[in-house]
Amino acid sequence: MSRTAAVVVTAALLAACCRIGPDPVAAQQASAPSSQAARPAMPIVDILDRLIALPRFSPDDVARVTGIALTEATSSNEFFRIYQGSATAGEFSSVEVRYRLPAASATAGDLVILTTSSRSAITSEDLARAYGRPQNVEPASPTAPPDAPDYYRVQRGSVRVSFGITRTAPVRLTKIVLDRSPR
């Protein structure tokens, strides 16, 4: 199968399993869980909900919620302080926080990048049950490396949540990006 065909098939599979409708915003609202009890019990979902509820993604708060110690990276600059940490146990293998400073553009916001543990078996179907239908599914570029994920996106308040799902077996969640940039 050609790479382009594989991307099309992956997008179609993600769309089918997540039941993307013609009006993704209305579809998301209609499919949003009506109570906490209806959501699947997944530690990653609980952690994400706690992160999304934070007023900002401060490194101390993100470290406390994820359980991963963060240290400032040498790549910090006048626009963002960048903090990184890794773990060998737990839900995530690495966490990166890009904490916006006053000199950054008004269109920039705090960002958290979470890499799931290799033990994670969360699928796009699990995410659809937890967060409703995606607002969009963005397949990886045909020129992207084979391990580049497709992204399933939802909006939760002021946070855009992007879930990176592998395109090869085993199909599972590998990356999560929480973006507070104004839209």
pTM of the full predicted structure? 0.76
Nearest alpha-carbon partner for 171 in 138, 124, 133: 124
* Residue 40: predicted pLDDT: 52
pLDDT tens, 81-124? 999 999 999 999 999 999 999 988 888 889 999 999 988 889 88
- Phi, psi angle pair for 125, to nearest 5°: -65, -40
For 45-81, the pLDDT digits (tens) are 999 999 999 999 999 999 999 999 999 999 999 999 9
Quote the distance between the C-alpha of residue 13 and its chain's center: 19
